[in-house]
Amino acid sequence: MPRIIFIDPDGTRHEIEAPVGLSLLEVAHENDIDIEGACEGSLACSTCHVIVDPSWFQKLDEIKEDEEDMLDLAFGLTKTSRLGCQIIVTEDLDGLTVTLPAGTNNMM
């Protein structure tokens, strides 16, 4: 299984073996990683915002307009911000590293 590395805002690293086909949001929830996901992955909020390590950003599928619109609401937006519900684990993402932002904007 691919390994996904989640980094908490305080720098704590969590290396998780993630089943192919799950979203990062699902992987986080199954492993008690502190990502809210208020809309449960329906692309209606920005509470699963993650900051992708720059070395991995270009390896992800291209961001879609709906995701960009939701990211506009995210706390601490960066050039490599994505929504965890929109990143699906594949074998090619073994070693993907994402950092959790210091907060979220829950508009729901």
60 belongs to a structural domain: yes
Q: In whole angstroms, how far apart are CA 51 and each of 28, 55, 100?
A: 14, 12, 6
**pLDDT tens digit sequence for 13-38:** 999 999 999 999 999 999 999 999 99
What does the pLDDT read at residue 104?
A: 58
Residue 68 lies in a domain: yes
CATH code of 57's domain:
3.10.20.30
Answer whether residue 108 is part of any domain.
no
**Residue 50, in any domain of the structure:** yes
pLDDT in tens, 69-82: 999 988 889 999 99
- Asked whether residue 107 is assigned to any structural domain, the reply reads no
Alpha carbons 104 and 50: distance in angstroms, whole number: 10
19 phi/psi in degrees, rounded to 5: -65, 135
Structure tokens at 71: 């990211």
Which of these, 21, 17, 87, lies nearest to 48 by C-alpha position? 87
Q: Is the pLDDT of residue 105 over 70?
A: no
Quote the domain boundaries for residue 33: 3-99
What would you report as the CA-atom Rg of the chain, rounded to the nearest whole angstrom? Answer: 12
Q: DSSP secondary-structure letter at 91?
A: G
Strands 96-99 and 3-7: parallel
